[in-house]
Structure 1
């Protein structure tokens, strides 16, 4: 078996498969490694807004994803305490629809799409144990198959696409540049017969110190998530001991009077509820000598803003562009790392900062309530607000609009 490649990508889910595809299209030989076998599930909101669908269509994979009969949507219902914002995501690059596809379909299809380009090899069931170095430069990886057999592979660049708790990131000692701890625990479950009014849509709630998210997904199911403060001993105990029952209970008491309360009451649980007890919104150094990071390994953010998978798309393209423009990587690691960080910060930082705001358990101020009321009352402001999420506009543009509306007599 071949043991030397241009790039080794550790992690073959969304971030890794997207990067492998982009690298293969650029002419690089790629090895994807993952400790899992596929198809398999992973805890995720798995949502692509329409800005991402434009990129998936350009890649040539969107039609296959749609063959799973995962529903498309473009409406968002958002409730901030007693204020409701209800509107549609603005068009981006000709796309109007959004897609929330289950990871057991998505990851496998993205892997197969990458492998179909040629120049990509994938090894599932391989666990990374160490990196190989020449001086300070990473030149390969070591690991073991599930049968215990050890193996090593070499490459000009090793990329960590192995998630929030990235093994590769730890082995290369990538420094954390920014970290904002979340104040919430997060639990997610799948439900059937979840009935919405009107056309299908995404739901987001922030009522008091409780948050909720709802996405229509594959298999005629809805992803329902509930977030509550880590300091809340009652809910922590209930979810740890009986997560399925606790999800229904928190819908009844934490979302009183909201659509979520009644809709979850009438739905049926399809799969077990799973959770995450606290996590940081982290931003790590993205590149060093012989290594780089993409996806959640690079920057994990609160899932309530639904930006993880779109950010993986952007990072894959940014990194591939930098590698394609530089012919002598070994002589230019610092220059490439600086350029990677600059582009990532320009593209991803505004939504990372949004996540850092959502992740803190603080009530809306009177000023924030006034802004929410203005957005809710104006279709134009609602569209601009939702456009921040799908990158049709930048947060600064929304701020300018609101300031202009406040200044009017």
Structure 2
């Protein structure tokens, strides 16, 4: 039975990125997934400019762009009456953003990983347990779609298997932060959704409702609507007829926005899918013989669009920590865990906190309304605000912009 340096359970964004990073360093990798590709999954699947730079560095961007999915660089964000309209700042020479369907994205990433040196892949394999040796994880066991039970040993098992990670549960990873959402989220794809002017992404927060729109492939736009779980009327309508309810809630609650005029003229393509009662979670990322990347490590509200780029970042950080010890990991798990935790929190925690604010049904205060208006009226502040989303500006830096704006307008 072949033993691997690393087994990665989950071969989508985080898992395929980690396989790429580990292959570069000469590790033997087994990349597993319970799906067979191409395969869809519920997602807003958006890469802003910093994510585009990472895709380019991996060598997969050209293949993704060959799908014909349009790129964009403009965002229009409406917070009640304040409309923030601008361009995402450049990151590493990239000005463009991409919202690419998971049937294309994950297939390209998986095929890319499959062709890398020292990377073996296995589709249609579900992890059902971990192998243990001396108190440390030492491999996985599971079952193929044909019912064949198999075991694979490894020095390290990585859970890249999403927000309901089996590896995380089997390893007993500690949950460090858990902030339940107040919102139900429903997502659908629409044909003939017509925007005015330059193609762009849209985000709305109007009262207690949220809306997001991204241009994607096949001439479609992906539209997400969020409303409070406590809203019995809309919960009932979406359970009964989610496609009709999407149109109704936009007409009812987003009349003052562009989506209010655009969605009723568009046609639903396929079915509306929902995500109810999810938590914004942050977990312990590493232990003896195991680690977590992507949504298995930290799942956050999709409204902030950070999931996939953060999945790539966490994979890079984990590979860097593993490289630091050059494969001699036994006896160093605590030090590696501490280093990995520190790096991921420094890079990703501020936007996780931002998602935790989005996920709570809290109306804007008068002070926040005032600041939103100042940002909307100032191009530099707009660029800095959008820069938070694509990691061109840190949230702490943006606070400095806000303080200067307030001082200038007193």
Partner Cα distance (1:397, 1:262) in 2: 36
Residue 38 (structure 2) pairs with residue 70 (structure 1): no
The TM-score normalised by the length of structure 2 is 0.99
Q: Which moved more, 1:257-266 or 1:292-301?
A: 257-266
State the shift of 1:387 in Å: 0.2
The DSSP-based 3-state class of the residue aligned with 2:330 is helix
Aligned to 1:373: 373
Partner Cα distance (2:59, 2:34) in 1: 27
State the shift of 1:232 in Å: 0.4
Aligned to 1:229: 228
Q: Is the 8 A contact 1:75 1:89 kept in 2?
A: yes
Residue 99 (structure 2) pairs with residue 132 (structure 1): no
State the shift of 1:338 in Å: 0.2
Unaligned runs of 5+ in 1: none
Partner Cα distance (1:278, 1:71) in 2: 32
Matches within 5 A, 1:70-219: 70-219=69-218
Q: Is the 8 A contact 1:3 1:152 kept in 2?
A: no
The DSSP-based 3-state class of the residue aligned with 1:191 is strand
Q: Deviations over 1:197-246 (max 9, x none)?
A: 10110000000000000000011100000000000001111111110100
State the shift of 1:337 in Å: 0.2
The DSSP-based 3-state class of the residue aligned with 1:203 is strand
Q: Which moved more, 1:249-258 or 1:337-346?
A: 249-258
The DSSP-based 3-state class of the residue aligned with 2:226 is strand
State the shift of 1:375 in Å: 0.4
Unaligned runs of 5+ in 2: none
Q: Which moved more, 1:53-62 or 1:340-349?
A: 53-62
State the shift of 1:3 in Å: 3.0
Residue 371 (structure 2) pairs with residue 358 (structure 1): no
Aligned to 1:31: 30
Runs of 4+ residues deviating >2 angstroms: none
Q: Deviations over 1:387-408 (max 9, x none)?
A: 0000001001111111012122
Partner Cα distance (2:137, 2:255) in 1: 54
Q: Deviations over 1:161-200 (max 9, x none)?
A: 0001001100001010001110000000000100001011
Residue 400 (structure 2) pairs with residue 394 (structure 1): no
The DSSP-based 3-state class of the residue aligned with 2:106 is helix
Partner Cα distance (1:23, 1:240) in 2: 44
Partner Cα distance (1:25, 1:70) in 2: 29
The DSSP-based 3-state class of the residue aligned with 1:329 is coil
Partner Cα distance (2:240, 2:15) in 1: 35
State the shift of 1:135 in Å: 2.1
Aligned to 1:6: 5
Aligned to 1:312: 311
Partner Cα distance (2:369, 2:321) in 1: 43
Q: Which moved more, 1:291-300 or 1:395-404?
A: 395-404
Matches within 5 A, 1:340-355: 340-355=340-355
State the shift of 1:14 in Å: 1.0
State the shift of 1:82 in Å: 1.1
The DSSP-based 3-state class of the residue aligned with 1:330 is coil
Partner Cα distance (2:112, 2:143) in 1: 26
State the shift of 1:326 in Å: 0.2
Aligned to 1:55: 54
Partner Cα distance (2:114, 2:148) in 1: 24
The DSSP-based 3-state class of the residue aligned with 2:222 is strand
The TM-score normalised by the length of structure 1 is 0.99
State the shift of 1:254 in Å: 1.4
Aligned-residue Cα RMSD (Å) equals 0.8
Partner Cα distance (1:252, 1:220) in 2: 23
The DSSP-based 3-state class of the residue aligned with 1:70 is coil
